[in-house]
Structure 1
Amino acid sequence: SPAPTTVPPPSTLGLPRIAPPPSASANKAPVPAAMAGTVPGQPLRRRLKADDDAFGAVGDYAGSFLIKGGLELSTGYDTNPARLNKPVGSPVYVVAPDLLVMSDWERHALVADLRGSFSGYTNNMPATIDGFASPSPVEINRPDFTGHVDGRLDVDRDLKLTSQLRLRLATDNPGSPNVQAGLQKYPVYAAYGTTVGFDQTFNRFQVAAGATVDRTAYTDSKLTDGSTFTNNDRDFNQYGGIGRFSYDLKPGLKPFVEIQGDSRVHDQAADRNGYFRDSNGGYAKVGSSFEFSRILTGEISVGYSARNYTDPRLSQLAGFLTSGSLIWNASGLTTVKFFTDTQIAETTIPGSSGVLVRTYSAEVDHDFRRWLTAVGKFTYGTLDYQGQNRNDKTYSLEGNLIYKLNRNIWVKGTLRHDILDSNQAGSSSQGTVVMVGVRLQN
């Protein structure tokens, strides 16, 4: 699939409305002597919140911040890491750190969520130049990082100021037509930006809005013949705004209307094929968030998205969109999750306006024991390349088995099969990944 667009999802309006913790002095039970410091006059140590997960990370407090960190180390085999029509396999290792920092204040909030990974392959892929074998095989190692820092300033009971800083580092996905022929290794792109806005409540009516600024920039491509190719024509800035109007219809049910608009301005007026890709677009959607006795929670919405391009040769890219996140606690041992999202992504294909990307994912988590969890996940996606009559379908079936030794060490096994089904001859591919690893967390 192509590199994702930087249009912020609904969550970038700011943090969810978090109920403040109870006052430190209200209804406070006596603290046992064991909780007190060993030195006379030393302040009492912080009382940790109740934790229902006997094998979850506890974290540590640094002042008024709770910090949780983890590191996953995995190794295995991928039968087709480059997602070629004729598979070439390779052993693979993955290093994936993550860090979560949350404030514990009576007012205001600050949350940093940082997650990254590096996938390394010991076998390089064969390459060809004009039909002849290249002496320089292709490196397919891929970094991936997603991070955001969300802040909320409580001006008063009904008015909150919200903000977000975000960063995404990645490469084009293997099998994408955006991947150039003759690459020595995948170029890395950075998509970063900010949202600044507010959240105002009028009794049951709520207005949340924000201004967004984002930038996407690619490194140069290194080719197998030793030369480099600039990707400046893929670099662009995006300026926009987003607003949501919602109403507390009744406890647990909150319908909303959301509207977003933006302009994309590229560093170069024309791309490598002579197309002018500056554009204006946006979406409108309706939906609802809900919480029914904590058994079924989340939100779901439907709408319509459209984008118009400066170049008259590029037709309008428009389509129906869905977005949502549902969590069903089927029982004390089983949780079912459903996610859907729609994006309009950029492309380098001549004559194609862009890509309408739809993704649908279902996941089932089941605890055989508190220390043994199985996770099954199925993902289906469609990629419609406007103006080129290219349609790709993606399927991914994944199973995980997690053995939790204690709160700090988990052992994990993964089996995943990916399918890319394209209507373009020679573009379809399949690959199977088998991994085993350990997670260290605190």
Structure 2
Amino acid sequence: MSSRRAGITAGALALALCSRAFAGDGSDFSNDVLLGPEGTECSYCVPNPPDEYGPPFQFDWSVGLRGGVRDNGSGSGPTYEVVALPEFSLQQETIRGGYNLGVSGEISHELEGDPRIGSVATTAGGRYDLDELTTLEGRVDLTVSQDDPSDSDLPVNVVTSPLEISANAEASASRDLGAFVVELRGSAGRDVFGETTYDDASTTSNEFQNTTTWGTGARLGYKLTPGLVAFIDGGADAEQYDVASPTLLVKLDNVTYATRAGLTFKPSDVLELEGSIGWGYRDFVDDTLDDFAAMLYGAKATFRPNETLTLSGELTTAISSPGTTSGATAKLEYAATGALSYQLNPWLRLRASADWSTAGYEGIDTKESSWGVGVGADYLLNEHTDLTADYSFERSETTPAPATDEHQVTVGVRFHR
């Protein structure tokens, strides 16, 4: 009898050892592994679907306080100014895209003047991936701004520059079709200008600058090689004015057509290049106005050899409205910008920039040109505080007036989350 019990016990022990050897008892795996997605050690387990909506919005804020001195070259001497730059933002990232909302402002005060709200801007945008090949993007901007009356591009007798309200909305959809990439876009906008006040208490209306705009466009790209894409881009933008021009006595309503062809090259995150050439044509609704056409040039370059250094440059061509320039029907501007950012160490970042532009007006002989350079530095004082310092120089000329040179030095502190 005892031998029989011993045999049963030995058999049960052998069966338990075999079961552990071939199947395992699960003690080597945690619950996270047993419930984890494919690719973990437990590849046969049911995956947990990721959260569609992502974590709650991330809130960020910063407040910059700057003081500076500026000489605009008018001969009236330097002006001293204090500027506050508050900024707030909400961001959320999800598995299918992301959303953001931002509010920023600029409040300045000259020592011999009154406080002035330079601008208040609100931006909302987002990106949503319908699938791995299709992306939707949208953006809405609302800006209320007012130029400094002492700016060199305003008459010297201006006391209060006009208040400008600008609202714009943009939307786009892109689809990767293998060798081809297609993008469709649309936009709408509204610009409204207030009155200009002069030193003799007189005012002038800027209602003739009020416009409503609509736009549409498309881009078709073809992947020549990995990282190299050839594209053609075309679009049409309509511009409708509220009232007639006070000098031409007709409304400058128009539709501007533009087409470009070019190449983009992005072999890696280190280098990104784009170049294009095209043709722009502004067709005025009023038959008494001469239509306007021009060559369009564009180029962009970004170089990031490592995490500490970034070099970028851009060349643009823009056909735009003449603004307050009397007798002109359109403005053609060529502009180039360049920027350098270098993280010298974890506490100090150095910056440099340069810009150049030249512009002409259709219907009059006025020419504008400018160039400038700037240098700056940001010093991380602690986790939530940065010190900043900047110097900029700008030379501008509008024929037939002589050129003016503007110097500006600013220092400040920025508090952030």
TM class, shorter-length? 0.7 to 0.9
2: CA distance between counterparts of 1:110 and 1:290?
28
- Asked if 1:360 corresponds to 2:336, the answer is yes
- Asked if 1:219 corresponds to 2:197, the answer is no
2: CA distance between counterparts of 1:25 and 1:196?
35
Tell me how large the CA RMSD over aligned residues is: 2.9
- Asked if 1:175 corresponds to 2:152, the answer is yes
1: CA distance between counterparts of 2:214 and 2:124?
19
* 1:352-391 matched pairs, under 5 angstroms: 352-391=328-367
1:159 corresponding residue in structure 2: 134
2: CA distance between counterparts of 1:247 and 1:320?
23
1: CA distance between counterparts of 2:116 and 2:287?
38
Cα deviation digits, residues 402-433 of structure 1 (max 9, x gap): 2112332110111111110233124x311100
Distance 1:364 1:339, change over 3 A: same
Question: What letter corresponds to residue 387 of structure 2 in structure 1?
Answer: V
2:48 corresponding residue in structure 1: none
Cα deviation digits, residues 55-77 of structure 1 (max 9, x gap): xxxxxxx9433333222211010
* 1:56-75 matched pairs, under 5 angstroms: 63-75=55-67
Question: What letter corresponds to residue 120 of structure 1 in structure 2?
Answer: H
User: How many residue pairs end up in the alignment?
Assistant: 369
Question: What letter corresponds to residue 216 of structure 1 in structure 2?
Answer: D
Contact 2:258 2:281 in 1 (8 A): yes
Contact 1:100 1:111 in 2 (8 A): yes
- Asked if 1:79 corresponds to 2:71, the answer is yes
Cα deviation digits, residues 97-123 of structure 1 (max 9, x gap): 334433211114323354442343223
Distance 1:404 1:298, change over 3 A: farther
Shift of 1:265: 0.9
1: CA distance between counterparts of 2:242 and 2:325?
18
Cα deviation digits, residues 19-69 of structure 1 (max 9, x gap): xxxxx956689xxxxxxxxxxxxxxxx9xxxxxxxxxxxxxxx94333332
| Structure 2 counterpart SS, 1:424 | coil
Distance 1:343 1:155, change over 3 A: same
Gaps of 5+ in 1: 1-23, 30-45, 47-61, 125-138
* 1:392-403 matched pairs, under 5 angstroms: 392-403=368-379
Shift of 1:289: 3.2
1:262 corresponding residue in structure 2: 237
Distance 1:145 1:345, change over 3 A: farther
| Structure 2 counterpart SS, 1:233 | helix
Percent of paired sites with the same residue: 18
Contact 1:244 1:257 in 2 (8 A): yes
1:344 corresponding residue in structure 2: 319
- Asked if 1:121 corresponds to 2:110, the answer is yes
Gaps of 5+ in 2: 1-35, 42-50
Question: What letter corresponds to residue 151 of structure 1 in structure 2?
Answer: G
Cα deviation digits, residues 252-295 of structure 1 (max 9, x gap): 22332211101111111444552421111121112333323321
1: CA distance between counterparts of 2:278 and 2:105?
32
Give the structure-2-normalised TM-score.
0.79
1:417 corresponding residue in structure 2: 393
Contact 1:314 1:387 in 2 (8 A): no
Give the structure-1-normalised TM-score.
0.75
- Asked if 1:404 corresponds to 2:396, the answer is no
| Structure 1 counterpart SS, 2:225 | coil
Shift of 1:169: 3.4
| Structure 2 counterpart SS, 1:357 | strand
Contact 1:145 1:170 in 2 (8 A): yes
1:90 corresponding residue in structure 2: 79
1:277 to 252, 259, 274: 252
Worse-matched range after superposition: 96-105 or 308-317: 308-317
Distance 1:206 1:304, change over 3 A: same
Where is the helix percentage greater, Structure 1 or Structure 2?
A: 2
2:27 corresponding residue in structure 1: none
Distance 1:118 1:362, change over 3 A: same
2: CA distance between counterparts of 1:384 and 1:140?
35
Distance 1:192 1:409, change over 3 A: same
| Structure 2 counterpart SS, 1:97 | strand
2: CA distance between counterparts of 1:286 and 1:229?
43
Distance 1:145 1:257, change over 3 A: farther
1: CA distance between counterparts of 2:242 and 2:383?
48
2: CA distance between counterparts of 1:231 and 1:266?
12
Shift of 1:145: 4.6
1:52 corresponding residue in structure 2: none
* 1:127-142 matched pairs, under 5 angstroms: 141=116
Question: What letter corresponds to residue 78 of structure 1 in structure 2?
Answer: R
Structure scoring higher RCO (CA < 8 A, sep ≥ 6) equals 1
1:335 corresponding residue in structure 2: 310
1:303 to 278, 286, 294: 278
1: CA distance between counterparts of 2:103 and 2:265?
27
| Structure 2 counterpart SS, 1:350 | coil
